[in-house]
């Protein structure tokens, strides 16, 4: 039996079953922020050699208006980066969408970005991940919380703090593309938790929300935004527990943020990945894992109570992480 937290209570359920007799599942969902060929090629070479097949986002278009925070990343307009991503896809890695570029895009640029990927990569995408403060994000910011008791005060606070508003799901907005997202993407990333084993959080598999009609299925992930967070969260002890519990980890991270220095993968990260590769885990791309979870642990449409419990847990998870960062500065 596996212990899982549901509506704030600990209960047990049968351990998840994985193909090929594997005892747990682990994959990486790599956001392209700060990524270049030079600073991610070595870790992808390591992942490939160890038998991992993971998921990488990439921006298809440049950002001619400039980007204060994300200017360091390469896009698929760079010929070397395009060739690198094509080879990853050919080798069995998965490409996911992170928006047309690093800053906000009107509907026309979003469509152009999707068309570029269709033309130049040719591999269908199943996964979309909102990015940063892009205005075309779907159900983002305060709208991420669909329960009014959380969403409404956060909307008020956001206006007071001049936080951006997101319009990807608002039909009258020039940023609207929800209809396209629903047609093209089966899975959209929602909450990320500082918890390695997602089976501890209900629901473990993809789920629907009645109030978000432009998303077919949401899914949650573990959260390790850079190499330091990765090394805190992904440890041999944590991975041993993940295996013993028959758990699942889709790890959201940015492999361009410190995983490679001077052309070499961080030695601690390499040791952890080599240890993980020797364990009986199922190491497949995100969408393949999500399709499996839909079969063995379908979340369906969350009830109001389930939705409230999930959103409240995420709210306090983020609050705790922020307090921890403040106390360690």
Indicate which CATH number applies to the domain containing 260: 3.20.20.370
pLDDT of residue 299: 73
The tokens of 127 are what? Answer: 């996964």
| Assigned domain for 7 exists | no
**If you search the block for the tokens 């549901």, which residue do you land on?**
6
pTM of the model: 0.94
Is residue 199's pLDDT more than 70? Answer: yes
Q: For 80-149, what is the HEC assignment?
A: HHHHHHHHHHHCCCEEEECCCCCCCCCHHHHHHHHHHHHHHCCCCCCEECCCCCCCCCCCCHHHHCCCHH
Are 89 and 121 in contact, with CB atoms under 8 Å apart?
Answer: yes
- Helix (H) or strand (E) run with residue 231 in it: helix 227-233
| Assigned domain for 4 exists | no
Count of the separate structural domains present in the chain: 1
| Assigned domain for 285 exists | yes
Distances (CA, A) of 213 to 107, 217, 218: 18, 10, 11
| Assigned domain for 91 exists | yes
For the chain, strand residue ranges (E) read 2-6, 9-13, 24-30, 55-58, 94-97, 127-128, 187-193, 217-223, 248-253, 260-261, 264-265, 281-282
Mean pLDDT, residues 299-311: 94
pLDDT of residue 298: 80
Nearest in space to 105 (alpha carbons), one of 162, 167, 158 = 167
| Assigned domain for 9 exists | no
CA distance 206 to 195: 17
Task: Work out the pLDDT band at 328, boundaries 50, 70, 90.
Answer: very low
CA distance 151 to 311: 10
The tokens of 267 are what? Answer: 């030695």
**If you search the block for the tokens 């847990």, which residue do you land on?**
313
Answer whether the bond into residue 296 is a cis peptide, omega within 30°. Answer: no
Task: Work out the pLDDT band at 11, boundaries 50, 70, 90.
Answer: very low
Task: Work out the pLDDT band at 325, boundaries 50, 70, 90.
Answer: low
**What is the CA 43 to chain-centroid distance, rounded?**
18
CA end-to-end distance (rounded Å), the chain: 40
Domain that holds residue 39: 16-327
Q: 206-232, pLDDT tens digit by residue? A: 999 999 999 999 999 999 999 999 999
pLDDT of residue 294: 96
Q: 51-82, pLDDT tens digit by residue? A: 999 999 999 999 999 999 999 999 999 999 99
Is residue 147's pLDDT more than 90? Answer: yes
pLDDT of residue 5: 52
Cα-based angle 279, 281, 283 (whole degrees, multiple of 5): 125
Q: 177-197, pLDDT tens digit by residue? A: 999 999 999 999 999 999 999
Distances (CA, A) of 288 to 54, 55, 127: 10, 10, 10
| Assigned domain for 264 exists | yes
The mean predicted confidence, pLDDT, of the chain is 93
Mean pLDDT, residues 287-291: 98
pLDDT of residue 324: 65
| Assigned domain for 1 exists | no
Cα-based angle 37, 51, 224 (whole degrees, multiple of 5): 60
Distances (CA, A) of 115 to 32, 248, 295: 19, 33, 31
Q: 80-124, pLDDT tens digit by residue? A: 999 999 999 999 999 999 999 999 999 999 999 999 999 999 999
Are 32 and 57 in contact, with CB atoms under 8 Å apart?
Answer: yes
Q: In sequence order, which ranges of 121-177 are alpha helices (DSSP H)? A: 148-160
Q: 247-269, pLDDT tens digit by residue? A: 999 999 999 999 999 999 999 99
Nearest in space to 232 (alpha carbons), one of 267, 269, 279 = 269
The tokens of 328 are what? Answer: 């360690």
Task: Work out the pLDDT band at 49, boundaries 50, 70, 90.
Answer: very high
| Assigned domain for 246 exists | yes
Residue 9 or residue 296, greater confidence: 296
Is residue 241's pLDDT more than 90? Answer: yes
CA distance 263 to 247: 33
CA distance 214 to 167: 12
């Amino acid at each position: 039996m596996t212990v899982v937290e549901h509506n704030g209570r600990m209960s047990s359920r049968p351990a998840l079953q994985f193909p090929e007799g594997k005892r747990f599942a682990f994959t990486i969902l790599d956001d392209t922020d700060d990524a270049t060929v030079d600073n991610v090629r070595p870790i992808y070479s390591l992942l490939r050699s160890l038998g991992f097949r993971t998921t990488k986002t990439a921006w298809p278009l440049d950002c001619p208006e400039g980007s204060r925070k994300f200017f360091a990343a390469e896009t698929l307009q760079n010929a070397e980066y395009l060739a690198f991503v094509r080879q990853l896809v050919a080798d069995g890695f998965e490409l996911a969408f992170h928006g047309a570029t690093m800053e906000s895009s009107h509907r026309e640029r979003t469509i152009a970005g999707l068309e570029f990927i269709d033309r130049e990569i040719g591999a269908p995408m199943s996964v979309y991940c909102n990015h940063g403060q892009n205005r075309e994000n779907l159900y983002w910011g305060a709208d991420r919380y669909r329960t009014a008791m959380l969403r409404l005060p956060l909307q008020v606070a956001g206006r007071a703090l001049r936080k951006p508003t997101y319009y990807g799901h608002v039909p009258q907005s020039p940023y609207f593309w929800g209809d396209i997202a629903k047609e093209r993407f089966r899975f959209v990333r929602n909450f990320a938790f500082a918890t390695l084993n997602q089976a501890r959080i209900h629901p473990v598999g993809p789920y629907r929300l009645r109030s978000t009609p432009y998303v077919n299925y949401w899914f949650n992930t573990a959260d390790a935004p850079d190499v330091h967070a990765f090394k805190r969260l992904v440890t041999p002890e944590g991975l041993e527990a993940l295996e013993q519990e028959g758990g699942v980890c889709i790890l959201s991270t940015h492999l361009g943020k410190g995983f490679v220095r001077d052309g070499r993968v961080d030695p601690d990260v390499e040791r952890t990945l080599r240890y993980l590769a020797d364990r009986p885990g199922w190491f497949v791309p995100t969408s393949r894992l999500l399709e499996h979870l839909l079969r063995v642990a379908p979340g369906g449409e969350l009830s109001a109570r389930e939705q409230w419990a999930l959103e409240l847990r995420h709210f306090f998870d983020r609050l705790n992480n922020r307090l921890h960062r403040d106390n360690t500065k």
